[in-house]
Structure 1
Amino acid sequence: MEKTPNPILIVLAFFSIYVIWGSTYLLNKIAVTELPPLMLASIRFISASILIFSIARILKISLRITKRQLLNTAIAGFLFLAFGNGVVVWALKYVDSGLAALEISAQPLVVLLMMRVFERKKIYAMSLIGILLGFIGIFLLVSQKELIRDENTVIGMLMVFVCMVSWSYGSIFVSKANLPSNFFINTGYQMLTGGIILLIGSFTFGEVWTSPANWTQSVQFSMIILIVFGSIVAFTSFNYLLRVVSPEKVATSTYVNPIIALALGWYFLNEQISLQSIIAAIILLTGVYFINTKKKLTLYSRFYRFKRK
Structure 2
Amino acid sequence: MNKWLFAFLVVLTTSLMGSAFTIGKIGLAYATPIMLVALRFLLAGVLMAIIVKCLRIPYPKHVSVWLKIALIGFFQTAAVMGCIFVSLRTITAGQSSILTFTNPLLVVLFGTLFMKMTYSWRQWLGVILGFIGVLITLGAQVDLRIGTLYGFLSAISWAIGTLLIKKWGTQINTWVLTAYQMLFGGLILFVGSFLLEDPSFQITPISIAILVWLALMASIVQFAVWFYLLQKGDPGKTSAFLFLAPFFGVLTGWLLLDESISWNVILGGVCIFIGIFLVNWTARLRMEREAIHHDAKL
TM over 0.5: yes
RMSD value over aligned CA atoms?
3.0
**1:284-299 aligned within 5 A:** 284-294=272-282, 297-298=285-286
In structure 2, what is the Cα distance between the partners aligned to 1:295 and 1:240? 20
Change (3 A) 1:240 1:174: farther
In structure 2, what is the Cα distance between the partners aligned to 1:17 and 1:119? 29
Change (3 A) 1:160 1:106: same
**1:1-309 aligned within 5 A:** 11=6, 14-15=10-11, 17-63=13-59, 65-144=61-140, 147-149=141-143, 154-177=145-168, 181-210=172-201, 214-215=203-204, 217-238=205-226, 248-249=236-237, 251-294=239-282, 297-298=285-286
1:100-137: CA deviation from partner (whole Å, max 9, x where unpaired): 11222322211111121123334423223222221221
Change (3 A) 1:55 1:133: closer
**Contact 2:120/2:282 (8 A) holds in 1:** no
In structure 1, what is the Cα distance between the partners aligned to 2:82 and 2:34? 6
In structure 2, what is the Cα distance between the partners aligned to 1:85 and 1:104? 10
2:80 is paired with a residue of what secondary structure? coil
In structure 2, what is the Cα distance between the partners aligned to 1:249 and 1:165? 23
**Contact 1:27/1:223 (8 A) holds in 2:** no
**Contact 1:122/1:299 (8 A) holds in 2:** no
**Contact 1:183/1:236 (8 A) holds in 2:** no
**Contact 1:124/1:296 (8 A) holds in 2:** no
Structure 2 unaligned spans of 5+: 291-298
The amino acid across from 1:283 in the alignment is C
Task: Please report how far the alpha carbon of residue 59 of structure 1 lies from its aligned counterpart in structure 2 after TM superposition.
Answer: 4.1
**Contact 1:72/1:178 (8 A) holds in 2:** no
Structure 1 unaligned spans of 5+: 1-5, 303-309
**Contact 1:107/1:164 (8 A) holds in 2:** yes
Task: Please report how far the alpha carbon of residue 148 of structure 1 lies from its aligned counterpart in structure 2 after TM superposition.
Answer: 3.1
TM-score (norm 1): 0.81
In structure 2, what is the Cα distance between the partners aligned to 1:76 and 1:13? 26
In structure 2, what is the Cα distance between the partners aligned to 1:204 and 1:80? 20
Structure with the larger helix share: 2
**Contact 2:30/2:201 (8 A) holds in 1:** no
Aligned to 1:307: none
Task: Please report how far the alpha carbon of residue 20 of structure 1 lies from its aligned counterpart in structure 2 after TM superposition.
Answer: 1.4
1:177-223: CA deviation from partner (whole Å, max 9, x where unpaired): 15774433222211111111111101112423335xx33x3332221
2:25 is paired with a residue of what secondary structure? helix
The amino acid across from 1:135 in the alignment is F
TM-score (norm 2): 0.84
**Contact 1:25/1:101 (8 A) holds in 2:** yes
The amino acid across from 1:268 in the alignment is L
Residue correspondences, number: 288
Aligned to 1:306: none
Aligned to 2:296: none
In structure 2, what is the Cα distance between the partners aligned to 1:301 and 1:176? 23
1:77-98: CA deviation from partner (whole Å, max 9, x where unpaired): 0011110111111111111111
The amino acid across from 2:214 in the alignment is L
